[in-house]
Structure 1
């Protein structure tokens, strides 16, 4: 913005959208159903028995699934929300990133139930400066119902921002890779990666391994856990080749795969060592730790080389070090 007066005037206009409708009278495109529950549980590796059988319930974290509009969108979306986003675009905040969401589950959903929803703009922040750039956080609140009964609340927050300008230099720096979200639940995993170790959670009650890291066991509900170091070998379970969009820190096309680890969990990561068009389901891979910059190390999956056991890998590291 050109001046403090303009900034204040824009913020006042943005605040005027708080409490306005973003979507009204929406209806889920499908009732709660067992096939979608099964697909979700398979993708998440969640084998809890509550989600199968004649008395199955939907996993609570599927809440947003029942309101998604798909490629065609939802007719329930209100003009006020598009007006809000248009106002931010016109002010120069043309980039957008999802920052976080919060959900509440008054009761579980069951197959056959029809979900309806209404969404309001809960808040628009004052102008904020972040590492990405300067902009405004927009939070919407969606209330989901079965009949008149409230069955879930979903808050979703985005940042509409103007990208920060990089300082000029003789040779422009390569853009940094996006940072992973590190929180109290997964900090141990990322510390292990920094040390060149692939750590997997293991429930101390039922000994089931799990990934991604969670505060409790999705098999038995146990709250206590320890870790095991993965050997680091596996094979490609499924994959996609990314062509678009072209983010500055990436060099498409490249392959991103879901890897079946020898320990019985699955993990996402880039496949390296072979051309992207040679990646196939079942391709053997082993972990490699890619140092992106002084702050970020990522696990990637190298194909086309002999798989190493953990003792082999340790011996190689010692010889190299």
Structure 2
């Protein structure tokens, strides 16, 4: 879509490119320590539990509950629809991720609500894992 601003793209590096590759395949990736099997997000080079530098990735179920949330109204950047509901999700796998809650009025959001991951695709094809309330339809 010519002339339409797009979402700000993340910088890619050796510690996070794999995560965006999984998102491009409609998957929510979680980094896992090969030494102690601790899950961690956001991706980082060293395990905070055992200090191992060896890791792999697993695909998360995408199901969890809202641990915390905030509603952003300002500043408004091009390429985003406001208000933005940003959630901290406790995943079934036992780790947390921060993401956007979509298809939901901000007044409907509350702590402990069940959510599921869906993939948002920008007009330019960029994919981003986001969440919606469990049972919500597009």
Q: Same fold (TM over 0.5)?
A: yes
Look up the SS of the partner of 2:48 in the other structure. Answer: coil
1:107-256 → structure 2 map (5 Å cutoff): 173-256=3-86
Look up the SS of the partner of 1:190 in the other structure. Answer: helix
Unaligned runs of 5+ in 2: none
> RMSD of the TM alignment (CA)?
1.6
1:298 to 116, 121, 128: 128
TM-score by length of 1: 0.41
Do the aligned partners of 1:185 and 1:215 also contact (CA within 8 Å) in 2?
yes
Cα distance between partner residues in 2 of 1:172 and 1:183: 28
Look up the SS of the partner of 1:287 in the other structure. Answer: strand
Cα distance between partner residues in 1 of 2:52 and 2:105: 42
Cα distance between partner residues in 2 of 1:293 and 1:181: 19
Q: Which has the higher contact order (CA 8 A, sep 6+)?
A: 2
Residue 261 (structure 1) aligns with: 91
Look up the SS of the partner of 1:259 in the other structure. Answer: strand
Do the aligned partners of 1:273 and 1:304 also contact (CA within 8 Å) in 2?
no
TM-score by length of 2: 0.91
Distance 1:253 1:261, change over 3 A: same
Cα distance between partner residues in 2 of 1:189 and 1:227: 8
- How far the C-alpha of 1:277 sits from its partner, in A, is 1.6
Cα distance between partner residues in 2 of 1:216 and 1:304: 33
1:277 to 89, 92, 107: 107
- How far the C-alpha of 1:176 sits from its partner, in A, is 0.5
Cα distance between partner residues in 2 of 1:290 and 1:214: 24
- How far the C-alpha of 1:251 sits from its partner, in A, is 2.1
Do the aligned partners of 2:27 and 2:129 also contact (CA within 8 Å) in 1?
no
Cα distance between partner residues in 1 of 2:109 and 2:118: 17
Look up the SS of the partner of 1:228 in the other structure. Answer: strand
Residue 24 (structure 1) aligns with: none
- How far the C-alpha of 1:248 sits from its partner, in A, is 2.2
